[in-house]
Structure 1
Amino acid sequence: MLSLPAEFEQFHWMVDMVQHVDLGLIVLDREYTIHVWNGFMVHHSGKQSHEVIGKTLFEVFPEIPKEWFVAKSRPVFNLGCRSFLIWRQRPYLFKCRNVRPITQQASFMYQNVTLNPMTSPKGTVDYLFLAVEDATAEAIAEGATANN
């Protein structure tokens, strides 16, 4: 069993990884209130954590079609399974600027997004987390052009 200092150190590492991983991580509750907004999302969206945490996804991003997103998230909350949004079906969920110098042919970041259930110790899914992956290089390689 880990000692308290080792457990604290591992917790600190986990928080550091969440903030610095090259992947957007967002935690939403069943009302779509934002609880976690990591460094990737700050960097790419231009929205600071204190600007978004405690607000609903649709307050911060009114351009996201609410009915569509709720339908995509329903199986995550109700069945505890993943849901996927891929750039070929919808170029992005969050219109973020493209900041990769090699792929400047795109005016925005293409994204693959996975909606993941977060199961509580009681077995309920009261939160989900979105993993937002930059798929711009893949989209450009496949001939997509982003001039929007």
Structure 2
Amino acid sequence: MICTQIFEMINMGIVVLDKELMVTKWNRWMETHSEIRAEQIIGHSIFEFYPQLKTKWFNRSCKSVLKFGNFSFFSQKLHKYVFPFKSVYSACTNFDTMQQSVTMGPLRDESKQIQYLYIMVQDVTEVAAYEQKLLEMNIRDPLTGVLNRRFMFCRLKEEIERFKRYGRSFSVIIQDIDFFKSINDTYGHICGDFVLKKFAQLNMERLRSIDLYTRYGGEEFCCILPETDLQSAQKLAENLRRIIEEYVFVFETSELRISMSQGVAEVTPDMTTAEELLKCADECLYQAKKNGRNKIVAKSCQREKLLPGQQNRGKI
């Protein structure tokens, strides 16, 4: 009697399967989240209601439990979920499907023979959402929401290793908002923060899904462009330059126009660190500012060159 009450009232799903993987027990928690009543599923194969479980890893786990008495664990980080239940936290998390931690183990009869296996399902959606939030906080710039400097260096290291192994080129663009200090001095730091956030948004909207946009520091940002050579990167830089130059930043009653300088660099075989590539792009950025700002300078790290057609536009 007590065991039955615990089985029905416990705040986790419990399923019992026989050796043929037919359902023999299905507790109230499973009824609630699956919207399948016990009398509907008991006596039926688990695959009849969940055909997506017909996988090698699930069958292998069931066999291991029933034949050898082993235990199997399915973590949220690896499998996300076993049963595709709707998440009750979908309104406040990024998960539409319940994230689950699942344990599978043997059930023995009085003679110690394995006759059944149990599956215990725990809803770990809140924990997964919290971990995801912590991860986002660790890799995101709190002001602009773009990826932060720490993540930028990690990703650049990965891209350099990929270039060494597979020869897949990539480029970076370092951007610097021209005369940003004067915005803070004239309109205040709240306006400056607004410009930084909008500036980042405008750039991100023009990038591909495989590109990364990061905050390098202060008013400097960095685009990481996989599978992109120097020529393609400088074309993108020009498009971004034009978008920023033409955009009107409206803050309260003020209208602002800004520009940016950009340094473009492509990885080369002699590079071994992210710092070398960034140094190359930084040198281009310095030259772009020296040339009058609102400019783009690209560099192959053997020689510098001002982009074709880049006339002196003057300071903005």
TM-score (norm 1): 0.83
Counterpart for residue 135 of structure 1:
124
SS at match of 1:143: helix
CA distance in 1, matches of 2:70, 2:92: 33
Provide the rounded CA distance (Å) in 2 between the counterparts of 1:65 and 1:91.
17
SS at match of 2:85: coil
- How many residues of Structure 1 are paired with residues of Structure 2 in the alignment? 133
Q: Which amino acid aligns with 1:56?
A: S
In structure 1, which of residues 26, 29, 39 is the aligned counterpart of residue 15 of structure 2?
26
Please state if 1:87 is matched with 2:67. Answer: no
Preserved contact between residue 93 and residue 129 of structure 2 (Cα < 8 Å):
no
Paired position in structure 2 for 1:69: 58
Instruction: Give the stretch that moved more between structures: 93-102 or 76-85.
Output: 93-102
CA spacing shift, 1:101–1:132, aligned 2, 3 Å: same
Distance in 1 separating the partners of 2:56 and 2:113: 23
- Matches of 2:99 and 2:92, distance apart in 1: 11
The match for 1:117 is 106
Given the alignment of the two structures, is residue 47 of structure 1 paired with residue 36 of structure 2, yes or no?
Answer: yes
Shift of 1:66: 3.8
Q: Offset at 1:70? A: 1.2
Instruction: Identify the residue that residue 107 of structure 1 maps to in structure 2.
Output: 96
Read off the aligned partner of 1:35 and give its amino acid letter: T
In 1, Cα distance between the equivalents of 2:20 and 2:3? 26
Partner of 2:185: none
Residue 59 (1) aligns with residue 56 (2) = no
Q: Kindly tell me: are residues 62 and 97 of structure 1, through their superposed partners in 2, closer, same or farther at Cα, counting changes over 3 Å?
A: same
How big is the alpha-carbon RMSD for the aligned residues of Structure 1 and Structure 2?
1.7
Is contact 1:98-1:104 (8 Å) kept? Answer: no
Based on CA coordinates, which of the two structures has the bigger radius of gyration?
Answer: 2
Alignment partners' CA distance in 2, 1:70 and 1:78: 12
State the SS of the aligned residue for 1:88. helix
Task: Mark the runs of 5 or more structure 2 residues left unpaired by the alignment.
Answer: 134-316
State TM-score, norm by structure 2: 0.40
Q: Looking at both structures, which has the greater relative contact order when contacts are Cα pairs under 8 Å and sequence separation is at least 6?
A: 1
**Aligned 8 A contact 1:103 1:136 in 2:** no
Deviation, structure 1 residue 96: 0.5
